[in-house]
A and B are shown apart, each in its own frame.
Chain A
Amino acid sequence: MNSAVSARTQARSAGKKKRNSELAREERAFWLFISPWTLGFLLFTGGPIIASLFLSFADYNVVDAPTFVGLRNFFDLFHDKLFYKSLSVTFYYAVLSVPFTIVCSMILALLLNNKIKGQAIFRTLYYTPSIISGVAVSFLWMWLLNPDFGVVNSLLSDWFGIKGPGWFTKPNTVIPSMVLMQLTAIGGPMVIFLASLQSLPSDLYEAASIDGANRLTKFFKITVPLISSVILFNAIIGIISSFQVFTQAYVITKGGPDWNSYFYVLYLFNTAFAQFRMGYASAQAWILFIVIFVLTMLALLVSKRLIYYEYDDKR
């Protein structure tokens, strides 16, 4: 009996050992599988993040060794007119473009959510313009919105007898024009709205119909609350991407007229790669991070009260 017990414990400990070695094997495999990310993170993300933090407290022109200057870069930034200008340009763009994009893409998603013939074709056609972006599309809009001979102003004068605005060439219209330019590229948020609309439960709508609610009431009382978390998602993505605008400004306006489209990242790019003031540019990059982080947190905080989650324990 004694020997039987000891045999059993022996077997059990052997089993444990086997299980342990299996766990160790799985753990080794895990590290092996994620090693591309680990290496990439250390070399190209984590290391540079720390380096960037150090650089933001230094003067560095790439040729000479960096010199530590403490908080001077940040103090200089707070006295830098162009810093405020580029930040306010970027804020202005975000304030216009985020709500504009959300409203337009939601309306489009609502239209495309209807059961009609050719639904799939319509969805594809509306999504298509957002595939193309970058330099080619910037040139296209530069041409469409050319104040003297662009097609939009020509149509305005031919059909309505209106003299069109200067679009990208006038200080007060350049940012609204950039927002307008994004209009046909809203396929991304549109698809996300569409997916969420399709997951809505139809029983709520049935109940509302029985109560005699009309379409508008149903939209504001049922649809909007149910997709509010998706609205938030699109808003956050929109804020982040509008703070990183670069290509349009670089190609179309080079920051003009009179710095009115001098987007933050364009300023950062010029500081770093035209003037080679790497320390100052690093400080700019960290301010950008703080701004994006704060705005994201703010959006999350504000929306906490407004958003309805279906599976909320606190309810």
Chain B
Amino acid sequence: MFRERRVSHGELGLGGKIVVYALLFAGLLLFAFPLFWMITTSLKELGDVHKLPMKWIPSPVEWSNYTQVFRDAPLARYIVNTVIYTAVTMFAVALSSSLVAFGFARLKARGRNVLFLLVLSTMMIPPQVTMIPQYLLFNKFNWIDSYLPLVVPAFGGSAFIIFLLRQFYLGFSKELDDAVKIDGGGYFTMYVRIILPLSIPSLATAAILEFMYRWNDLIGPLIYLSDGSKYPLSLGLSNFTAAYAATPWNLLMAASIVAVLPPLLLFFFAQKYFIQGIVITGSKG
């Protein structure tokens, strides 16, 4: 007599399911297409790149494009520079932000809340405001054309990541701290023994966010680096076509694949920590 009542707003009938699948698959074509096109173009001969009608699948498959980009530009050098730069800054930001976040989350002191507001308010000032005096300062230090201006500030932590980690650290039980206190441990023991092990997933998330940001950053290296042998991938890639008369799109796409591959790989291997926390465990069904 009564029609069966649909409970949750997330439940779909058969028709609804078909519509959702159709939309998702159609959208996926759109979302996957740019990357697909990047890959196929990177494997074409230059003559086939502009051929009409378009060639969807490259034939012959020019794997040599990839070796050629490494010959034409010091791509290997750029990769080494970028890996060292992102690894050091990632480590620096994660470590220092975590220490600071521990202070703000777990230790009481006069003026703490005012200071924390100051941390948050620094996020509102566009980086362009501090960019110019920082450049002048590093110019005085004779640090221009080195990685120091890009790396050293990372040891001060990042306001965004301090905020993120503090939210996590507030969630851990206070009794854990008391247990350390009873055992006669100090605050550093508390941090190393309790907070650090518990916060590995949140630290990993913070580290990956920092990695993505540093890997893709163009404006920082552009300001501070002029010696081509010190270029990271972002800057090297942006000058990649300078040596050619016309843009070799197949080579440019091959070099671009080389540039996006590490973040993509990192994302796939670290997904468990990265979006799972927000996206996958959040859904209870």
Does the CB pair A37–B129 fall under 8 Å?
Answer: no
Does the CB pair A251–B122 fall under 8 Å?
Answer: no
Interface stretch (choices B69-77, B83-91, B132-140): B132-140
Given the interface pairs A123-B280, A265-B128, the reply to whether A116 lies near B21 with Cβ below 8 Å is yes
Does the CB pair A191–B275 fall under 8 Å?
Answer: yes
> At the interface, yes or no: A216 with Cβ under 8 Å from chain B?
no
Task: Please indicate the chain A residues that have their CB under 8 angstroms from the CB of B215 in the complex.
Answer: 134
Does the CB pair A205–B54 fall under 8 Å?
Answer: no
Task: Please indicate the chain A residues that have their CB under 8 angstroms from the CB of B217 in the complex.
Answer: 134
Given the interface pairs A129-B34, A202-B8, the reply to whether A37 lies near B100 with Cβ below 8 Å is yes
Task: Please indicate the chain B residues that have their CB under 8 angstroms from the CB of A52 in the complex.
Answer: 129-130, 132-133
> At the interface, yes or no: B228 with Cβ under 8 Å from chain A?
no
Task: Please indicate the chain A residues that have their CB under 8 angstroms from the CB of B122 in the complex.
Answer: 41, 45
Given the interface pairs A34-B104, A136-B237, A250-B218, the reply to whether A126 lies near B156 with Cβ below 8 Å is no
The A interface, classified by DSSP as helix, strand, loop or mixed, is: helix
Given the interface pairs A33-B107, A36-B156, the reply to whether A135 lies near B129 with Cβ below 8 Å is no
User: Which A250-272 residues have C-beta < 8 A from chain B?
Assistant: 250-251, 265, 268-269, 272
Task: Please indicate the chain B residues that have their CB under 8 angstroms from the CB of A140 in the complex.
Answer: 34, 37-38, 253, 256
* Nearest chain A residue, comparing its CB with the CB of B271: A124
Given the interface pairs A111-B27, A250-B238, the reply to whether A293 lies near B124 with Cβ below 8 Å is yes
The residues of B with any CB-CB pair to A shorter than 8 Å are 5-12, 16-17, 20-21, 23-24, 27-28, 30-32, 34-35, 37-38, 41, 49-50, 52-54, 96, 99-100, 102-104, 107-110, 112, 115, 118-119, 122, 124-137, 139, 153, 155-157, 162, 186-188, 191, 212, 215-219, 222-223, 233-235, 237-238, 249, 252-253, 255-257, 259-260, 263-264, 267, 271, 275, 278-280, 282-285
The residues of A with any CB-CB pair to B shorter than 8 Å are 23, 26-27, 29-34, 36-37, 39-41, 43-45, 47-49, 51-52, 55, 62, 108, 111-116, 119-120, 122-129, 131-137, 139-141, 143-144, 149, 151, 154-155, 158, 183-184, 191-192, 194-195, 198-200, 202, 205-206, 209-210, 218, 222-223, 240, 243-244, 246-247, 250-251, 265, 268-269, 272-273, 278, 281-282, 284-286, 288-289, 292-293, 296
